[in-house]
Amino acid sequence: MSTPAAPATGTASVRIALAAVAFSVLLLAAKLLLAWITGSTAILSDGIESSANVLTSAFAAFAAWLGSRPRDADHPYGHGKVEYFSVALEGVLLSVAAVLIAIVAIPRVLDPPDVTALDVGAIGMALIALVTAAGARFLVRRGRTLQSPALEADGKHLMADAITSSGVFVGITLVHVTGLPVLDPLVAVLIAGLILFNAVRILRQAIAGLMDEADPVLLDDIARVLEEHRQPGWLAPHLTRVHRLGQAVHIDLHLVLPRYWSIDRGHDAATVIEKAMQQRFGTRNETMVHMEPCTPISCPYCDVEDCPVRESPFSGTLPWSGESIRRGSRAEAIAHTTGEGKAPRAPAPDTLR
């Protein structure tokens, strides 16, 4: 199997992550300034969330740098998993921020402070919300393009931050219209709840990545690539397992081939698949194809003409899907695709997967 080259996307990820740190620092400074001018608990709460965002953006930059480093003797699969630790840290820090906001805001609900310069606060938070949303969309889009979970999570956090800032804008406007200062700390309490909800969602994403949770969308994508490059004699891909390694994807799959094919011909098939996966998932993708010899169970679905070992007539090829290629055996993959209740039985014993 060929060893993929280190991507140029690693440098791009680091540059974008560093820019995100600077962006977060500017947002934090703007919010703290507005909180000082207005005395608003809601704006201060939004600033507390931004302080967590500065820390997570800094760690995301480090994770993007470390995750882009090539594999070595101590890390044969590379360093990409560190990006999920970055995502987990973001979730933890957001949880801490939510608790701190609640500690600050709840006493002020009972004793609301005076809020001044409401027009300045409202205009400032509206501008901050718009700028934050634009930055978040950019980060999420680039994170997906570069396959960087840390950048994508940072962007989603910023988008949640933009929603929070929009809520603060609404709260400040309501205080200005109604003259009820208690609405300001109440908005802050609502912000704490929103941040905590977002923190749980981000932690869930980190755990899924660290535990290599199956991704149905990704499996469907792999199945499409296999279908697009399918050649006569390729049968029943199954036992497909995927490891998301930050900006890299490692794929293991089993493919059934005619049992009379030479090793060279089987290797050629594996090479075609490797190159196709690298075209789709980037040069850092690594695909390992385990080749299995066919048995009579595959004869009805084998499209090889003039097959010298065929035991039953050809009835048509079977389509492949993410659900079928993840099945644990060729029999299960065929049964799922044909819609049979259980795996078909081979005329001859089949001890192969």
Domain C-terminal end among 173, 189, 210: 210
pLDDT given at position 54 = 87
Q: 129 Cβ partners below 8 Å, 6+ apart?
A: 162, 163, 165, 166, 168, 169
In this structure, the answer to whether residues 63 and 203 fall within a common structural domain is yes
Q: How many domains does the chain have?
A: 2
Are residues 185 and 63 part of one domain?
A: yes
Residues 43 and 105 in one domain: yes
Domain match, 38 and 176 both: yes
Domain annotation covers residue 2: no
Q: For the chain, 353 residues long, give each residue's pLDDT as a single digit of tens.
A: 333 333 445 577 788 888 888 999 999 999 999 999 999 988 998 898 888 888 888 887 787 777 777 777 777 666 777 778 878 888 888 888 889 888 988 998 888 888 888 889 999 999 999 999 999 999 989 888 877 777 787 788 788 888 889 888 988 898 888 888 888 889 889 888 988 998 898 888 888 777 777 788 889 999 999 999 999 999 999 999 988 776 678 899 999 999 999 999 999 999 999 999 999 887 778 899 999 999 999 999 999 988 999 999 999 889 999 999 999 999 999 888 887 644 444 333 343 33
Q: Please check whether residues 152 and 259 belong to one and the same domain.
A: no
Are 93 and 115 in a shared domain? yes
Residue 79, domain member (yes or no): yes
- Domain membership flag for residue 20: yes
The number of residues making up the chain comes to: 353
> Is 3 part of any domain?
no
Q: Is residue 349 part of a domain?
A: no
Same domain as 108, residue 153: yes
Domain limits at 115?
Answer: 9-210
Considering the domain boundaries, does residue 327 fall inside one? yes
Which pLDDT belongs to residue 2? 38
| Domain end residue (candidates: 210, 239, 256) | 210
- For β-strands 248-257 and 235-245, DSSP reports them as antiparallel
Q: Looking at the structure, do residues 40 and 169 belong to the same domain, yes or no? A: yes
Provide the pLDDT for residue 124.
Answer: 94
CATH number reported for the structural domain that contains residue 135 in this entry: 1.20.1510.10
Query: Residue 76: its pLDDT value, please?
Result: 63
Q: Is residue 351 part of a domain?
A: no
pLDDT of 57: 81
Q: Are 119 and 47 in a shared domain?
A: yes
Torsion of CA 61, 63, 66, 72, to 10 degrees: -170
In a shared domain, residues 123 and 226: no
> Does 32 share its domain with 123?
yes
Last residue of a domain, one of 169, 185, 210: 210
Please list the residues that pair with 287 across neighbouring strands.
251
Q: Could you tell me if 220 and 205 lie in one domain?
A: no
Tell whether 346 is covered by a domain: no
Give the integer Cα–Cα distance in Å for 252 and 259: 21
Within a 13 Å sphere around the CA of 201, how many CA atoms are in the beta-carbon half? 11
What per-residue confidence (pLDDT) applies to 142? 87
Question: In this structure, what CATH number is given to the domain that contains residue 282?
Answer: 3.30.70.1350
